[in-house]
Each structure stands twice: as structure tokens, then as C-alpha cells.
Structure 1
Amino acid sequence: MDIKDLKEKIGEYRELIIILTTAVAIGFFFYYYIYLKNYAEVKRLDSQIQETTTDINRVQTEIKETQKVAQRLKDAMERLKDMEDRFTVTQSKLPSDRQLSSILKGLVGDDVKKGVKFISLRHLPLEPKGEYFKLPFQTAIQARFQSFGEYLEMIEEMPRIVTVENFRIEAKEESLPLLSMQLFMSTYVLGGQ
């Protein structure tokens, strides 16, 4: 093969060689002047995208935790409100020192005395209990057993808190068919320490 044959063969593939040379030149130009120039910028942008994605995930996690805390706070506020309501109701059932006479009247009044004979009512010393004073008292009564049960029900239904802490029942020969009973009760009065 000599040079003449080579020139003839190149002539046949001339267009193809020009197209390939042009494509290689364009590829080299694109790679060198566009890709390599912007490669650092692409890497920097990719790094920023990864950092932003990490920040977004972190913020989403913080939002979820904040929502959990907010829900727990809401639940705690509801429980606090419920406790305050119950405290208010309980406090409304505690007598002030001015209401003690109405409680005593309720315990020994005519409307309650059906079948119950009061022998004595004596108060015991006040006991400080924080914001309240415990006012214990002892009552001696005589009644039939059924009347005694009705009397205890009446005490339970009083609008103010009166607690029957203990009681004793005795059957004495001289007072039969009535039973002699001692009730140890208490109420709480506002105005402690």
C-alpha cells in the first residue's frame, strides 16, 4: 500500500473523518471548557443539596419532637384543669368557720331527728392540716338500727364534707329497743396555715 492508495481510501471516508474529527473537537471543547469549568460548581451545589437535605431532616425531626412535647403539654394542661375543677368542687364542700353552725344544725336538726335521739355532741381539738383545719367531733345518739342507717345516709348526702371516721354501737338494757351509738366524725374548715 502506498500513499496514493491511502489518499484514495481517505477520500472515500473523508466525510466520515471530518464528522468524527468535528465530534471529537466538540467533545473535547465541551469537556474542557464547559464540564471541567462547571465541575467544581456542580460538586459545590451537590454538597449544598446534601447539607440542605440533612438540615431539612433535622428540622423535621425537631418539629415532630416539638409536636410531641406540645401534645404532652396540652394533655398536662387538661389534667391540671381537671384537677383545678375537682379542687374547686372539693373546696366548695369545705365549710368556712361561718358555716359550722349550719353543719351542726344539719346533723342535729328537727328534719333529721326522725327516730334519732341526740345525747351529746362535743368537739375535739382542731388539727392543722396545711391550708385547712380538721375539726373532729363526737356525737352520742340513741336510735333503732334502721334509723341509724338512714342517719348515716343523710350525712353522706350533706352538701358539705362531713366524714364519719368511726362509730360504736352498744345495746344497753335500760334503753332497749334503742341502740346507744357513738359517732366519731370530722369536717375540714378553711383557714389553716
Structure 2
Amino acid sequence: MKFDASQFDNLELDNIGQWPAAAKLLLAIFLAVTVGFLGYMGLISDQVKKLEGAFAEEITLKQSYRTKYHVAANLDLFRAQMVEAEDTFANQLRSLPNSHEIPGLLDDITFVGTTSGLDFVKLEWQPEISKEIYIELPIDIEVIGPYHSFGQFVSKIAGLPRIVTLHDFKIKIEKGDNETLNLKLQAKTYRYQEGGVQ
């Protein structure tokens, strides 16, 4: 069969029944493609988006299930860890000085300093700093003595039964004596804000 382009000349929409078979076939293909495209855009594309959303939700739900299953399978272990964490927290709270022990803490720091071979120039409380669950109690300390005595002092402070942290170290040589140094630092202890476990 030979293709003849002249058969597409003078085609009118009013007379589709008289069109040649090739023109009818092309029109049918064009209409099928147009209807298929419009049907896809109008009906199927929304469903495809919903399906993709359902696949993404399925992945999220599976991950959530795995996490919850892991927690449920290890619930006894998590409960034991929670009890251990609460015990550790209670022990840490007991390491914080209560209001009756705070004056004794200054005595302990003084004792630790003098037994380390240091002389105190300054030892005074600074204003309390209130934090979310605890109160910070800073103490300004200035001592003089040999360098190795500073190490003993810091080591003994760390060994106190109550929590004391040391900050802002400044060391300088005392005037006229290369063996004697001046150490300024701030010690901080803490008190539980809500009067927790003592």
C-alpha cells in the first residue's frame, strides 16, 4: 500500500465518515492519546501521589514499629537502667552540700590549702547564681605558695566528699621571689534548688 498525502487534503470535521481510513486511524490515535493523557492527569496522577505518600508513610510506620518493638522487647532492661539512673542522681544530690554544710566547706578548703603548704590571701563567698535545678555557690580564692603545692591543693579539693569545681585559674610570680607564686581561682559548689535528696 502506497502512502498518498493528497488523501489528507480537504478534510472537514462535518464529514468524518467520508474520510479515508488512514485519516480516521490518525484521528483515532490522536483522540486516544488525548483522552488517555487527560484521564491520567485528572484521575490517576492524584492517586499516584496518594500511593507515593502511602509508601512513605509505610516506611515511617515500619521504623516507628521497629523502635517501639525494641523498647518493648527491652522494657525490663530500660526499667532497670531507669532505676540505676535515679540512684545515681540521688547519689549525686547527696554529694551537693546542704545549707548546714556550706560553712564547713570553707573550713575544709582552708584545711586543704594550709596542709598543702599554701597561705590564704583571700577566701570569700560571691553572690549565689540560681540555675534551672540548682544554685551555684562561687567562692573566690587567692593563695600564695610554691607551684607543687598548687597541685596538691587542687588534688585534695577534688577528693572532698562534696562536689567542688575549680575555674578561672590565674598564676603569677610574687614580687621579688621566683619560688613563690600567687594563684587566683574560683571554686564553685552547688546546692539543689528544690531541696531534693539530702
Which TM-score band applies after superposition, normalised by the shorter structure? 0.5 to 0.7
Shift, 1:70, TM fit: 4.1
Shift, 1:71, TM fit: 3.1
Shift, 1:173, TM fit: 2.1
Shift, 1:67, TM fit: 8.2
1:124-164 CA distance string (max 9 Å, x none):
22111223200111100001111110000000100000000
- Superposed CA RMSD in Å reads 2.4
- SS in structure 2 at match of 1:158: coil
Q: Which has the larger radius of gyration?
A: 1
Instruction: Look up the match of 1:8.
Output: none
Instruction: Look up the match of 2:108.
Output: 106
Unmatched runs of 5 consecutive residues or more in structure 1: 1-65
C-alpha distance in 1, partners of 2:81/2:168?
34
Matches within 5 A, 1:13-162: 69-109=71-111, 112-162=114-164
Q: Is the 8 A contact 1:128 1:192 kept in 2?
A: no
Identity of aligned residues (%): 25
Shift, 1:68, TM fit: 5.6
Instruction: Look up the match of 1:56.
Output: none
Structure richer in helix, relative to its length: 1
In the alignment, which of 166, 169, 176 is matched to residue 167 of structure 1?
A: 169
C-alpha distance in 1, partners of 2:113/2:137?
24
C-alpha distance in 1, partners of 2:70/2:176?
71
Relative to structure 1, the CA distance from residue 186 to residue 68 in structure 2 (aligned partners, 3 Å threshold; closer, same or farther) is: closer
Relative to structure 1, the CA distance from residue 88 to residue 181 in structure 2 (aligned partners, 3 Å threshold; closer, same or farther) is: same
Q: Is the 8 A contact 2:112 2:156 kept in 1?
A: no
